[in-house]
Structure 1
């Protein structure tokens, strides 16, 4: 007797877009105008669909032909990638409140021409003749010498979808919270740090696993010598250091919100700056990057020299690179600060 046919199976391919938007505000349009044909102002990079993107605004046009009477706007692939397929929309925002925005959209033409393919990093989509400059300067798109451009990117992704009867949601890792409780309860602690009279109880194995400096220090100590005196770090900084080691996150402290970079002397007093020094001392590269990220947000004309010196002192190479780039782009004519940058670091 023939065996019955097996149950039929099915699957389907789903192609869709992963969408994201970025708003680029250009203040000081009148000062940017005249920078030259082919010269652009770039937005901060933003992530959509696993790729980095950036908006390029050309106040004098992208090409030297007849486009010089127009402003040009493009969106560029800012990360490595080949044959990235995407849809785009560039919108010049009406600042009068009337909602009459100028929209250039590839989304509307997707059925006709399909997504646009970007072949490599630096590939761009946009318009050489985005808007005639003379009309732009008398329109509601320009207000208080400011333009606002919104960019939407839709990265095309495909996946095979098969029916699932059940699914189980896996929560985020909570190992940090468990180790944090271990630190707070002091249970099983076997090492004490005396930081200017304030005692911190910790666990050698945890510290040694996280920091090669702690590992070396513990291997050189006598077994019954269970107290270490710390004389080069404030208690609040050491507390933040332990918080990172156990929880893998920055401590929740209002001092991390900003370093008051408008006042140059305060930069070195900021908690992020002091914790950067601790990360350098104990060889904690992830903590170093976290502190660099915080300090990066406070770079300004007044603070860049001090932050640059701090980055160089503690081998914060990403922060140093950002400072040098900021100096090159924003301190033209401020010879004293530029001289400091060049004399200390030689090249930008």
Structure 2
């Protein structure tokens, strides 16, 4: 369980005061309250940041870096957020290579703050005070200013940190539930799989009981009145991309929001390729939202709604509006 490690409050555009609670466990969270948000945008230029006070998680001190106008020229339209180890140089030097998982989210985005979600995030190495990890393009400022996260020119970020026990494997503290990892392994190794789906030319092996336990639609299809007459036959899923069904299965087994499979060539491409990738991601989100509605996965629908709202743009607003009205 994550322990509360205190709160840092930014006021008057640049001053930050911190009240600290020592989170003695290997998992804890800290709140960063940004008051006078518009003033921070006016007074802190691109490339500069406001740093929170030090807070303790897992026996080490951490800091949050907030850049209201982005940390570099390519993120000038975004807010940037990073975390790092802080404290005396001697303290940091003793930790040759501390490994930790973390999540930066708005305080109301509870789906990102669950231990199982943080366990599934990437493990990062923190070896010095200058070793920052985070997101240069956390959220576009205009999107933040239109969102419900900003109220009375104020928003609150939550930083969850999970210090890893085993520096070789990146495994986090053993007291946290890892049932989602077991089910993810079950999905991939296919042991005991008793149903096969064909989606757009690709086949997926799964477990009837898992699907039925998570979705009323799958329950009816696999065990109820809608049950296939020949239980050994392949079930064909129409009107759905294979990568969308794969993401749907990932959520069903792990209860974590899935990531879209990306083309490495597109990630390394230029501006046009990046725009194409962004458009593809929004389309994938929309298709996943439709799939969640189709199989009555209400939590996945809510997660998709949040991502669609965050990535809303002129090019996607019409299709997103149509999707909202239809579903």
When normalised by structure 1's length, the TM-score is 0.42
When normalised by structure 2's length, the TM-score is 0.44
